[in-house]
Chains A and B, each alone.
Chain A
Amino acid sequence: MTQTDPRMAELRDIVAEVLELEPEELTETGDFAEDYQADSLRAIEILARIDKKFKIEIPQSELPQLSNLKAVYDAVVRHSAGQA
């Protein structure tokens, strides 16, 4: 459940900081580019912070799919599956 996984809150903080938002302004399905004026640099930085925080490397090739918080969370879940 995304609501109970503490990683969701941490991801929300990471994304909000990079996109220059308050965490509560960021919805799970709000589009980074359309709704929050994010560019590709910011998206890359989100991946870098995830790498540092969770030690999870999400390939940059997946960037086009990572358009909202829910998609980023799903990618973290997917890429951490084999690591634990």
Chain B
Amino acid sequence: MSGVVITGWSTTSPAGVGRAALADRLATAATGDAPPVGATATVPAGSAWPVEPPPAAPVDVTELSDEPLPTPTGHALVDFDVRAHLGRKGTSFYDRATALAVVTCGDALRDAAVEVDDTNRSRLGVVLGTSLGSFRSTSDYTRETLVQDKPYLVNPVLFPNTVMNCAAGQAAIRYGLRGINATVATGPLAFLDALRYGTNAISRGYVDAMLVGAVEEFSPHRAWTTWLTGRPGRATPTGEAAAVFLLTRADQPGWAGPRREAEVLALATGYGPGGGAAADQALAGCVTRAVRRAGVDPAEVTCVLTGETDPDDTDEFGPACAALGHVPARMRVSRLFGRCDAAAGGLALATFLASEPPEPAPKLALLTGRSPDGGTAAAIVRGWPGAGASDR
């Protein structure tokens, strides 16, 4: 057991900013129509939980791009405005990924009730997951060198945006976080890798608390990538999201938040060279190791939160069930929020914690991730979903 707990969290997604917005969206999705404000969906006791919602319809995203898009719809928070959250100063040159991440980090700090000050800022860090930072920022910077009269007439203020650690660095600047600051770039595995990186930083004693999350922005670059590399005509729509959790030691200092939302019991990562059967085996191995390290009975795993995107994809669920020895409920966050790559795992964990269970009791979730090349990861989390949040 890692001895690391989650004391607060936030997401920014097409549902909006913050946990309440996410909970509302889940309630709407579960019933299939819009419930009265403040209502929550429930399922009968004894049935499989959580119930995977039907796929959500993407929205018109054309105003997010001056370039033609392969399809006019996607899963984006179209009216997201960083200035409405953080003001103008210091934010004008954020790219979208940075803006989503910084806003969500701030909301996670608020949700965990953490006050950053000179007594704790060097013990509080950030680790964020990504696929390649902002594909748009890097590609547009290169584009400028190709289309300007002089190739060096690029904007120096935007240069840091081309570096993949931009979002984590700007979050540290915004909130004064001087502890470990890291960025993991493993695409669909990135949230779970960030969770592992943050857990290690805490359990090794380098910091007392970490903001752990992942971000992916909507851009024409990602939309076209999804379109051109997905199944012809059937690609899951491109999504965007940031999800951030405040992690600390179970016996942490008081400043790191009064509540306990979840325990990160164990993580395992692996690689199946070449993908395919080798990666099936690697993922099953990760699940087995994670269950063993967590010291839990695999039969008690209530649900598997996967990063799968295609309707008939069981690349994660299959090996996970084989390793667990039974078939728990499956939750594919892509059905609600599209293809969110690095942010998928974080959205999945948030969705688990925001879902209303039939009875108030701790639940065990297995999170899985898998990359096309053969990277695999698994995490076992014990959560107090829904009303959740017991005092520690």
**In their complex, do chains A and B touch, with some C-beta pair under 8 Å?**
yes
Which of A's residues lie within 8 Å of B, judged by CB?
17-18, 20, 41-42, 44-45, 48, 51-52
Beta-carbon contact of A20 and B90 below 8 Å: yes
Q: Given A17-B92, A20-B89, verify A52-B156 contact (CB < 8 Å).
A: no
Beta-carbon contact of B153 and A52 below 8 Å: yes
Out of A20, A45, A48, A52, name the residue touching B88 (CB < 8 Å). A20
Chain A residue numbers with a CB within 8 Å of B88 are 20
Residues 327-348 of chain B, each 1 if its beta carbon lies under 8 Å from chain A, else 0: 0000000000000000000000
Chain A residue numbers with a CB within 8 Å of B156 are 41, 44-45, 48
Which of B's residues lie within 8 Å of A, judged by CB?
88-92, 153-157, 159
Chain B nearest CB, measured from A56 CB (Å)? 13
Beta-carbon contact of A45 and B153 below 8 Å: no
Beta-carbon contact of B92 and A20 below 8 Å: yes
Closest to B158 in A: A45
Chain A nearest CB, measured from B290 CB (Å)? 44
Beta-carbon contact of A45 and B155 below 8 Å: yes
Chain B residue numbers with a CB within 8 Å of A52 are 153
Beta-carbon contact of A45 and B157 below 8 Å: yes
Chain A residue numbers with a CB within 8 Å of B91 are 20
Docked CA distance A48–B159 (Å): 14
Beta-carbon contact of B92 and A48 below 8 Å: no
7 contacts between A and B (CB under 8 A): A18-B157, A41-B157, A41-B159, A42-B157, A44-B156, A45-B156, A48-B154
Beta-carbon contact of B153 and A51 below 8 Å: yes
Chain A residue numbers with a CB within 8 Å of B89 are 20
Closest to B148 in A: A52
Chain A nearest CB, measured from B90 CB (Å)? 7
Beta-carbon contact of B90 and A48 below 8 Å: no
Chain B nearest CB, measured from A63 CB (Å)? 12
Docked CA distance A20–B89 (Å): 6
Docked CA distance A20–B93 (Å): 9
Docked CA distance A44–B154 (Å): 10
Docked CA distance A44–B91 (Å): 18
Closest to A52 in B: B153
Closest to B93 in A: A20
Chain B nearest CB, measured from A45 CB (Å)? 5
Chain A residue numbers with a CB within 8 Å of B92 are 17, 20
Q: A18-B157, A48-B153 are in contact. List 6 more A-B contacts (CB 8 A).
A: A17-B92, A20-B91, A41-B157, A44-B156, A45-B156, A48-B156
Docked CA distance A42–B156 (Å): 7
Docked CA distance A44–B157 (Å): 8
Docked CA distance A17–B91 (Å): 12
Docked CA distance A33–B90 (Å): 14
Chain B residue numbers with a CB within 8 Å of A42 are 157
Closest to A18 in B: B157
Closest to A44 in B: B156
* 5 A-B pairs closest in CB distance: A41-B156, A20-B92, A44-B156, A41-B157, A45-B157
Chain B nearest CB, measured from A25 CB (Å)? 10
Chain B residue numbers with a CB within 8 Å of A17 are 92
Chain A nearest CB, measured from B149 CB (Å)? 9
Docked CA distance A24–B157 (Å): 23
Chain B nearest CB, measured from A33 CB (Å)? 15
Chain A residue numbers with a CB within 8 Å of B90 are 20
Chain B residue numbers with a CB within 8 Å of A41 are 156-157, 159
Docked CA distance A52–B91 (Å): 23
Docked CA distance A41–B159 (Å): 9
Docked CA distance A20–B82 (Å): 14
Docked CA distance A32–B153 (Å): 22
Closest to B149 in A: A52
Chain B nearest CB, measured from A27 CB (Å)? 17
Chain B nearest CB, measured from A42 CB (Å)? 6
Closest to A39 in B: B157
Chain A nearest CB, measured from B304 CB (Å)? 45
Docked CA distance A51–B153 (Å): 9
Docked CA distance A48–B54 (Å): 50
